[in-house]
Amino acid sequence: MTVTADVIARLKVAAGPKGFSEDPQEIAPHLTEWRGKYHGTSPLLLKPQTAAEVSVLIAICNETRTPVVPQGGNTGLVGGQIPLGGEVLLSLSRLNRIRALDADGMSIVAEAGVILADIQRKADEAERYFPLSLAAEGSCTIGGNLSTNAGGVNVLRYGSARDLVLGLEVVLADGRVLDLLRTLRKDNTGYDLKQLFLGSEGTLGVITAAALKLSPKPRSRVTAFVAVRGPEAAIELLSLLNGETGGLISAFELIPRIALDFVTAHIPQTYDPLHVPSPWYVLLEATSGSNDALQHVVEEAMGRALERGLVSDAGFAASDAQREALWRLRESISEAQKSEGASIKHDVSVPIKDVPAFLEKGCAAVERLVPGARPVPFGHLGDGNIHFNFSVPKGTDDATFLARWDEISRAVHDIVHEFHGSISAEHGLGVQKRDEIARYKSVAELGLMRTLKRTLDPNNILNPGKVVTV
Ligand code: FAD
Ligand code: ZN
């Protein structure tokens, strides 16, 4: 749809001279996402600095039926933040103040546009820890993290973004500011309304600030890169380690040999930390307060895993530099995969016990469709969440392979569904999986989602066409 000149003029006056841009050069980086899969257009970029300003702008959009797409750091992977229908773009990045930090109360109040890494740093300076951590943390915003209910590498121990929220401030579709910005640990006064906005990808309201839970700062950290026999052995190892440490394992990432090969081939200054190649690896981390025994406990348990044949080798980080080098291997997988040509990706979860069977069945199905497609399944095994990716077969051109995307995804997602899994474990639906999800959710569930959307956004102005169609 075209936004009329009158509406644009009204929004510009309300935004003030610093609060908008029509400069195509300034708008351009906001129109394409990280993978280059979606390209949008927008006549106007709004850049409010306060919740009150967001409120005024959204009220105008609602009154004039002007669709608007909220955007944080533009690192989303399902096209949710891209204005695909020529909508007005609402960047939250100037709402970037930390409003409060209560070290004893273990909470921090941050505005939506604060970069995730800045929240982590603020917490650290106060001798506290904000555990949400993902490879995009240097550019994604907390508003985007909450709107997508982001996951990352510490979900196993600390939960996903949703679990870290005590309170929210949200601008509703009609412009009202809903103040749920409480830092209470206990509050059973009716419906937990903040949950509606967490993971709703900007379709039900615009998050302007959040009160977040902090954790104690880990004083000891054990990081190990472990060669395992296979995913089944890895799951046994996780059980063993969690039992022995009393639940102190915070990250448990599965890495297949091919991913390590890609990384060491394409990413400078990376190396295989172990001597003998293994078909599968796990990068794991355990953390606790001042606990010198943690390393010892993990090493002892690892010794037992070696005896049982679950593990064939393990390298422990002996310094922060070594720890960072191990994490670089994991965090460079997506980047390295780009250098191997096109890839078809899935972000799926199944019950953790079913991961090995899912991997076997899923790989076989894709091999039947595209012989030679190279499976690169990696990720958050501790959460049953696998980035089930395939690289183009050697000798096949990218376009031919990518033309099979829908067919391959359909086969993979059907198998995920057989295991009662999810076709979007942490990235959301956006536009990429909006229609696909209708195949797997019940009529009742989809119907209720639509009812919520119609109730909270009757004029369908908030990120229309994302998550559900109404
Ligand atoms: P954007 O991309 O700007 O927006 C994402 C969605 O939220 C859009 O629908 C947008 O409309 C909406 N939105 C943004 N801000 C607001 C707001 N204030 N109010 C209402 N709606 C809003 N994700 C994971 O979960 N785990 C990972 O491990 C992970 N790793 C990644 C690694 C890389 C290299 C990259 C590029 C991405 C990764 N992601 C991961 C995806 C992405 O980083 C997350 O989805 C992140 O939470 C998005 O934050 P953002 O600020 O960039 O949001
Ligand atoms: Zn991930």
> Are 141 and 116 spatial neighbours (Cβ–Cβ below 8 Å)?
yes
Ligand 1 atom at shortest distance from the alpha carbon of 141: 51
The residue-averaged pLDDT of 33-59 equals: 95
State yes or no: pLDDT of 2 exceeds 90. Answer: no
Whether ligand 1 lies within 6 angstroms of the CB of 160 is answered as: no
CA of 197 to the centre of ligand 2 (A): 21
Contacts of residues 364-373 at CB distance under 8 Å and 24 or more positions apart, as own/partner, are 365/411, 365/412, 365/415, 366/390, 366/408, 366/411, 366/412, 369/404, 369/407, 369/408, 369/411, 370/396, 370/401, 370/404, 370/408, 372/396, 373/344, 373/401, 373/408
pLDDT, tens only, 166-183? 999 999 999 999 999 999
Q: Whose CA is nearest to atom 53 of ligand 1?
A: 144
CB 468 within 8 A of CB 203: yes
Is pTM beyond 0.85 here? yes
Phi/psi for 210 (5° steps) reads: -145, 145
385 lines ligand 1 (CB under 6 A): no
CA distances from 20 to 15, 53, 312 (A): 6, 12, 58
369 lines ligand 1 (CB under 6 A): no
What dotted CATH number matches 5-91? 3.30.43.10
| Residue 264 host element (H or E) | helix 257-266
Q: What is the phi-psi region of residue 59: left when phi exceeds 0, alpha when psi lies from -120 to 50, beta otherwise?
A: alpha
May I ask the CATH architecture of the domain 341-438? 2-Layer Sandwich (3.30)
Q: Tokens 């209470």, residue?
A: 184
Tell me the CATH class for 98-216: alpha beta
Ligand 2 midpoint to CA 335 (Å): 13
CB of 343 closer than 6 angstroms to any ligand 1 atom: no
Taking CA atoms only, the protein residue closest to ligand 1 atom 49 is: 144
Question: Does the pLDDT at position 292 exceed 90?
Answer: no
Ligand closest to CA 204: 1
Confidence of residue 289 (pLDDT cuts 50, 70, 90): confident
pLDDT at 34: 86
Map tokens 């990045």 to a residue.
93
Output the residue whose Cα is nearest ligand 1's atom 33: 136
Domains 98-216 and 341-438 share a fold: no
According to the model, what pLDDT value does residue 337 have?
A: 95
206 lines ligand 1 (CB under 6 A): yes
Has residue 416 got a pLDDT over 90? Answer: yes
Is 447's pLDDT higher than 80? Answer: yes
What angle (nearest 5°) sits at the alpha carbon of residue 126, between those of residues 125 and 132? 80
355 lines ligand 1 (CB under 6 A): no
pLDDT mean over 213-237:
96
- Using a pLDDT cut of 70, give the percent of the chain over it: 100
Ligand 1 pocket: which of 31, 49, 53, 71 to mutate (most atoms within 8 A of CB): 71
Mean pLDDT within 369-388: 97
Q: Is the CB of 34 under 6 A from ligand 1?
A: yes
Q: Say how far apart CA 11 and CA 453 lie, in whole Å.
A: 24
Once rounded to an integer, what is the mean pLDDT over residues 363-383? Answer: 97
Domain ranges of the chain: 5-91, 98-216, 220-335, 341-438
pLDDT band with cut points at 50, 70 and 90 for residue 1: low
CATH fold, domain 220-335, is Alpha-Beta Plaits (3.30.70)
Each residue's pLDDT tens digit, 89-105: 999 999 999 999 999 99
Note the pLDDT of residue 336. Answer: 96
Query: What is the rounded distance in angstroms from the CA atom of residue 193 to the CA atom of residue 270?
Result: 46
CA 147 – ligand 2 centroid, Å? 16
| Mean pLDDT taken over the chain | 96
Quote the pLDDT of residue 469.
92
